[in-house]
Structure formats: C-alpha cells, structure tokens
A and B are shown apart, each in its own frame.
Chain A
Amino acid sequence: MLIPHPLLGPRDAQEFVYLGDAALIDRPDGTAAGIEAFHDYLYLRDNPAGQHRELWYHEQGDRSWLVVTRDTVTHEILKAELARDVALARGRGR
C-alpha cells in the first residue's frame, strides 16, 4: 500500500506504524467524562467493512501522524491528511 503523505508525497505503508480508528483523536475529558465514556473510547470499535478513517504514524519518515481514509475491503487508500489538521478542525487543543 502507498500512502499519499500530504507533505512528502507517496510513501510505502511499511514506513508507518498503525494505531487504529481515527476516532481515538476524540479522547474524552478525563475529569468530566465518566467511566462508561472511557470504557467505550478505550475498548469498543466500529470496525467497519468499507471506508475507515485511521491513524498512521510515519515512524521511519517525518514522524507525523496522519489520518488515512482507506477501504478495509479492497485496501484502497482514498485520502491522507495530517492528523494535526484534523484534530484542530475538530476543535481539539493545540
């Protein structure tokens, strides 16, 4: 699989480490959210067959986190964004 890195162009997926569902960006607030919300965040997954937005870390590259949109049935990669941009657009901290 080739990941179209927004800054570096197409890179081999082998250079990346996979974390999982990009919903992990939306970590609940540690003081406000209850145990249920944390349980769901940590342990439950949508696990769709089809389009999946997921976090990949460019460990053997520029060490940026990407949000990659990929089809889990065909392995086709549809889009790659900087996770930073995605998080900021969702109103998360710095």
Chain B
Amino acid sequence: MRYSIWNVLAQGLTGHRGWKPVWRDPAPQADYDIVIVGGGGHGLATAYYLAREFGARRIAVLEKGWLGGGNVGRNTTIIRSNYLLPGNEPFYEFSMKLWEGLEQELNYNAMVSQRGIINLFHTDAQRDAFVRRGNAMILHGADAELLDREGVRRLYPFLDFDNARFPIKGALMQRRGGTARHDAVAWGYARAADALGVDLIQNCEVTGMRIEAGRIRGLETTRGRIGARKVGVAVAGWSSRVMAMAGLRLPIESHVLQAFVTEGLKPFIDGVMTFGAGHFYVSQSDKGGLVFGGDIDGYNSYAQRGNLPVIEDVAEGGMALIPALGRARLLRSWGGVMDMSMDGSPIIDRTPVEGLYLNAGWCYGGFKATPASGFCFAHLIARDAPHPTAAAYRLDRFRRGLMIDEKGQGATPNLH
C-alpha cells in the first residue's frame, strides 16, 4: 500500500478498517542467495539497497529479537556530516545526501528534520580546530559555518555564555544536520525491503556458521538451518560474538552508552547542540522532551543499561551549558550496546571467510550512517568491491597502520 493523503482520507471515511500490516511475517526458507544478520537500521538498509539498487533477489534479514529493538531504536537520533578526516567525511556526506531524499524514496515519514547542529567551542585553540574541520567539510561538499558568540546568542540566548571555566566563544554550525525519528527509519527500510520481496525474519537468533573449505555455506539459527551463498553481518554491539562463530577476533570492544529524556516542555531548543568542554549533546523531540546524552560508561558491557556515575556526569555537563535544565524532570534513561572500534571508525569489509562480510565498529555514531552504511555494504556484497566512499573502512587497516582516528586517541576503544 502506497501512503498518501488520499489514502489517509479514504481510510478515515471508512473507519480505518483497511490498513494492512506494514510487512509480512514469513517463515524462513531453506536457503537464500544473501542473508543479512541483524535487523537494525544497517541490516534493514542493506537488504533494501541490495534489492533496490543492486538487483539482488532471494534475500533474508535474520533478527534475534524484533526489528529495530537494538541501537537503532535507542539512539539520540542526531544526523550530521561534520567529520574531519578524508576516510570519513565523504562517507558521512553521502549519508546526509541519502537522508535528504529518504522519505520520498521509501514513501515513509521518517521525520528527517534538518534543524541544524552546532558544536560549541570554549577556547581559541578549539576554535582553530573547528575552523579546520569546517574547511575540511566544505572541501568535501558539505556545509559548514562558523558562528561567533553573538551568532550563538541569537539562537540560544539562555546558554551560560559567561561560565567562569567554559565561556562560550562561538560554534561550528552545520545547518543541514539535525535529527530523524529513529524507529521510523527502521520501519521505513523494513517496509520498503519487504515490498521488494526481502524476507524479514524475527525471533531468529544466529547461533552458528556453516563454513566449508573457507567458504560460508549457511547459518545455524534458533529457527533451524538456513543456507546462504553470501552472509552480511550487521549486529552492532554483538559483532564480536557473532564473528567468533567464524573463528574471528575483532578490533572491537562492546560498551554501554546511555541516553535520557525529560518530561515534555514547550519549544525551547529548536536545533541540536553539543557542549565543547564536556561530553553533552541535546535536542528537543517533537513531543517536547529534551533528548540528551554524553559519554559511554567506559567498561565492557552487554547489559543495555548503565550506571549512576555517568548519569551524574551527563547532568553536570548539561547544567554547565544550560542552567535552566535543572528545572526539568528526567523521565527515562536507557542504554544500548556499542561496538567500539580501536580507532573510533567503522568497518565495512570482506573477511577471511569467503562470502562472509562484516559491517561493524559504529561506536556511537552509527545512526547518521544508516543510509550510506546500508548502501555501501550492499555495494560490497553485490559487487565484491568497496563503494568509493567506504573504501577506507578496511578490517586490516590496523595491521597496515592506516587507522582513521578522528579523535587521535589510539587503541583505546573506551576513549573514542
């Protein structure tokens, strides 16, 4: 069913009795050409682009829980393409361009909102670094603007501009950045993939891999054996566990990241902003809740929930920036398991097992990457060659000394 205003009107006049389930719920077939493991944003987008752009058929997505129950439904929904390094910026800008046409393409309201993102700076050195980053963005065809203190004040007069330790001196702004409704992104890709014949199989956990003579033959799952010519793994925080089934150790640690939302407030913050002196980022959802987050907890975790010290730290960061935040009441907090890589950048690559492909290492920036990650992973699986914007995301880059370390932290996953 194609969604349109006429559709809504017709359904409204007939008591909304004609709406159909948005996707089928098929039982797994005995085998497929391509199986994608993980029904998060990246897995669903990969299946969609495989069918839509690369003419692949007989595709299944296997999800151990429900579609969108992982990080794609847990993130703070920020989308942007404000990276510095040449290995990253073209990829994220490609993603931003895909976001811009996504809803029309999928015929689904993903609430993509280019409300603008500002990264605040608090020292001269930080300003210089942001100028450099802005220039790198512009060179790669993205948009960037430097705001001075008055420019920031016009947008958000209520910030603590004269904070004694972290006075606000200005910001790097990307007007095309913003937010998207995270669940709707998963649902939109799922619906569009299903319409192209992709089998979306839920409650189906992959428990083993069938590998013969160095080639993938299929998967063991909680819903039986499923044969496959090619397998693409996109399981975010669970990457190490799933790839261990193929005997691989990854340059990844799993860490928990928390997020928070306040009770609904009147319109207050109409864009996205990040604090430059601590780790704190915030936007306001269309329902009015302030959605915000900060650092990962910092220790390995598969728990999908974090601890109180980080809540305190995030709240302190928020208060240093927006004193009025202290009057808002926190409604909920939750956590997701991040696949933190050794250089803070992702992996979209082949593996030593023929026919087995890996999409992982998204740290806490993988939501904005969803469209490009799906597109590039589909490209790799279908053509056995990397997409030009994702060519640097190699699994063996650590061995070859070609890290993409935006933050310059080295091999310390919990600091990226």
Contacts and interface: CB of A to CB of B under 8 A. Distances in A.
B249 A42 contact: no
A13 interface: yes
A43 B251 contact: yes
A62 interface: no
A20 B300 contact: yes
B298 A18 contact: yes
Most buried by A among B299, B303, B307, B412: B299
A45 B254 CA distance: 10
Contacts of A75: 301, 303, 307
Contact of B240 (A39, A43, A45, A70): A45
Contacts of B251: 43-45
A18 B299 contact: yes
A45 B253 contact: yes
B398 A39 contact: yes
B196 interface: no
Interface string A52-87: 101000000000000000101111000000000000
A74 B249 CA distance: 23
Contacts of A45: 240, 249-253
A31 interface: no
Interface in B292-330: 298-303, 307, 309
A59 B301 CA distance: 21
B179 interface: no
Interface in A4-51: 12-14, 18, 20-21, 35, 39-40, 42-49
Contacts of B413: 20
A17 B125 CA distance: 27
B70 to A, nearest CB: 14
Contacts of B353: none
Interface of B: 240-241, 249-254, 298-303, 307, 309, 342, 398-399, 411-414
25 contacts: A13-B299, A18-B299, A20-B300, A20-B412, A20-B413, A21-B253, A21-B300, A39-B399, A40-B249, A42-B342, A42-B398, A42-B411, A43-B251, A43-B342, A43-B399, A44-B249, A45-B249, A45-B251, A45-B253, A46-B249, A47-B241, A47-B254, A48-B240, A72-B254, A73-B303
